[in-house]
Structure 1
Amino acid sequence: MSKLIPGNHKHLTIEDRRYIEQSLDESKSFREISKYLCKDPSTISDEVFKNRVANTWNKGSFNNPHNFCVHRFRCKKVNACRKLIICDTKCRSCSICNLVCADYEKEQCRRIHKAPYVCNGCNTPRNKCPISTKYDYNAKAAQRQYMQRLSSSREGIALTKKELHSLDSVVRPLIAQGQSPYMIIANHPELGISVNTLYNYINQGVLLTRNIDLKRKVKFKPRKVHSTQIKNREVFIGRTYADFKTSHADELEFVEMDTVKSAQGSSKCILTFYFPDTQLLYAHLLHRCTPGAVKAVFDKLQNALGDAYDFAMVFPIILTDRGVEFGDPDSLETSPEGIVRTGIYYCDPMRSNQKAGIENVHTMLRMILPKKTVFTDLTQWDVRKCYNHINNATRKNLNGSTPYHEAFKMFDEEVLKALQLQYIAPDDVVLSPKLLKH
């Protein structure tokens, strides 16, 4: 990268490569391309040369589909192969001329061996070009080759065989003595690696020590990796569980929010709300577990309650996990009219105990919808039936009362109607899959 060009010192993106391809088709120079992308011309040159794609054409120019010799126009050789005694055909018109002639010299193209190194922007039609191997620059193919090189460059380990042997000579006897990797790294700082790196080396099999030699590792199952977490970390700024505590939100009324996923075979899920003061459960069926579907439920609840201010009275603060369906907090906190209707806070990763209330009430929901249940045929009517039966089940920590009665004392009748809460007699409460058998 040239210090004279104010570039961003970052790798080329797919948009940059598309611009390079378009500029090459327009016969622009590397210097012109580099000025627009704020890169050094050598960067563009290396990019084109490394990522060009070879296209081999098994035919030459028009009326000369086989001869690629640079001397073919003035060559007068006859019977160069010496297979026929009498042959008055000129060798330049024979299909095996390039294979048997001692003076054969392949024709080269200046565009390929010098800038721009590709056939993009060439005025010669492809069917009239005598060059057998042509090179093109394609943005998608260049991006694919770049990603492959980036991935392969980070594979393996950054140690030589001698360094690996030296490391193994220290680690192997100590592991045989029953020491843990932490003890080895703590007592031998000269190794210059961390405990996690040593575990990775053992797991990859680059050392003679194996996982079976470790005391406890073979007893542990592989840790589950959640691929449905929010990737944009900026949404957590000011919305972490620590912020929830420091803002004295525990002294106010708040609501816990989560989702119950379907088994494989359906994209549906159930969005759940739990009110800790009354232990009330409200749920809504989502046809897709996406931020847009969650926002649609919020807007629907706001319309049912009246306006954003009524929504804020029922849902003042919401505490949830870091699922990808809650990855757009701005749209949830703000109504379509631009009025702030609630506040979203996120629990710490792998800390379901920070919203233990909704996790506990999910066990009652799973009594009706056991795990491995596919939600394909599930409707909002079924979901409403589930949470109404759960809310009318008596609770010991409510002194024999039900969440429905406690909510009836706290909320107005309009709120209960908006949430579609109904009374069910105690003897009619069903908390088993039989509830949804039509």
Structure 2
Amino acid sequence: MQNERTLYTWMDLGIFSARNIDMPRKVRMGFRKPLKQGYLVDLKCREARTYDDYLVFLAENPDILISEMDSVEGTKGGKVLLTIHFETPKLMLAFIRDANTSQSVIDIFDYLEKIWGLEAFQRMFPVLLSDNGSEFSNPYRIETNAQGLSRTRVFYCKPRAPYQRGPGENNHAFLRRIIPKGTSMDGLTQADIDLMMSHINSYSRKDLGNKSPYEVFAALYGEELLTALGAKKIPPADITLRPTLLKK
């Protein structure tokens, strides 16, 4: 038995009498474009923070609250969102940034600590799970505040494995109803993003017993944490999950 890729390679080398033209699926697929080289990331930042390390940590702390962080782009080079998804209540926070840099991510976590206080921050973010984007390449500064105090733990998913952050990825579908992929976010403010997330987090979910993420989060951790960030509970009849929500 041979790998399918090996057979295609042998065909390209002319080992078989058949040619690529005889393979309709390969002709239709064409050649893949090479991946663009992104920002270089020091792989040392992932030491003791791999997905396997994460699984070990979860086994030792089975009831810990998990949050997933990710970036959502508008147009290339424009404003970008940082999303933070709490797995248990399915609530998502989102913050707009002028550029997709590691410092912009650090600034947001510093802001959250300032708004909530260190104790509440540590309670809400014991674990952060992210992909391998360059914006998350300074885990020490996310884990440690400006005074050098430990405040969270950062772990990385395996490359090209978005399913390891499945809940957060799925919740982005709600966000994309309002900001379709490829739509510029340059004209949006944090107030716009707060409004959008209030509508998304107020939308009831069947797997939450027909409660909304806002309601579940408020019951578990306190509504004051949400109001401190400008979040509001939107009545069901007023919820809008369409681009018109942000039309000015």
TM range (shorter): 0.7 to 0.9
Separation of aligned partners in 1, 2:43 and 2:25: 34
Structure having the higher Rg: 1
1:289 corresponding residue in structure 2: 100
Aligned to 2:148: 338
Q: 1:398 aligns with which of 195, 204, 208?
A: 208
Equivalent residue for 2:170, pick from 338, 348, 360? 360
Structure 1, unpaired ranges of 5+ = 1-179, 184-193
Counterpart for residue 157 of structure 2: 347
Partner of 2:71: 259
Alpha-carbon separation, structure 1, partners of 2:33 and 2:56: 32
- Equivalent position SS for 1:255: strand
Number of positions where the alignment pairs a residue of Structure 1 with one of Structure 2: 244
TM-score after normalising by structure 1: 0.51
Q: In 1, Cα distance between the equivalents of 2:192 and 2:17?
A: 58
1:217 aligns to 2:26 (yes or no): yes
- CA-atom RMSD, angstroms? 2.8
Normalised by the size of structure 2, how large is the TM-score?
0.88
- Measured in 1, the distance between the counterparts of 2:209 and 2:177 equals 23
Q: Which residue of 1 aligns with 2:247?
A: 437
* 1:175-324 correspondence runs (5 A): 182=3, 195=6, 199=9, 202=12, 211-212=20-21, 216-220=25-29, 222=32, 225=35, 227-228=37-38, 231-248=41-58, 251-264=63-76, 266-307=77-118, 309-324=119-134
Which has the higher relative contact order, 1 or 2, with Cα contacts under 8 A spaced 6 or more apart? 2
Distance of 1:226 and 1:236 partners within structure 2? 22
Offset of residue 415 of structure 1: 1.5
- Whole-angstrom CA distance in 2 between matches of 1:291 and 1:209: 51
The code of the aligned residue for 2:196 comes to C
The Cα shift of 1:216 comes to: 4.7
**Counterparts in 2 of 1:96-135, with a 5 A limit?**
none
Compared CA separation, residues 393 and 218, structure 1 to 2 (3 A): same
**Equivalent residues of 1:230, 1:327 under 8 A apart:** no
Counterpart amino acid of 2:71? T
> Residue 385 of structure 1: CA displacement?
0.7
Q: Structure 2: how far apart are the matches of 1:276 and 1:229?
A: 29
The separation in 1 between residues aligned to 2:17 and 2:62, in whole angstroms, is: 54
Partners in 2 of 1:232 and 1:260 — Cα distance?
22
Which whole-Å CA distance do the structure 2 matches of 1:280 and 1:217 have between them?
Answer: 43
Residues 229 and 345 of structure 1, relative CA distance in 2, 3 Å threshold: farther
Residue segments in structure 2 that go unaligned for 5+ positions in a row: none
Summarize the Cα distance change of 1:233–1:255 in structure 2 as closer, same or farther, 3 Å threshold. same
SS, match of residue 85 in structure 2 = strand
Residues 251, 277 of structure 1: alpha-carbon distance in 2 compared, 3 angstrom cutoff = same
- Mapped to 1, the partners of 2:62 and 2:6 lie a distance apart of 39
**Larger mean Cα displacement after TM superposition, 272-281 or 212-221:** 212-221
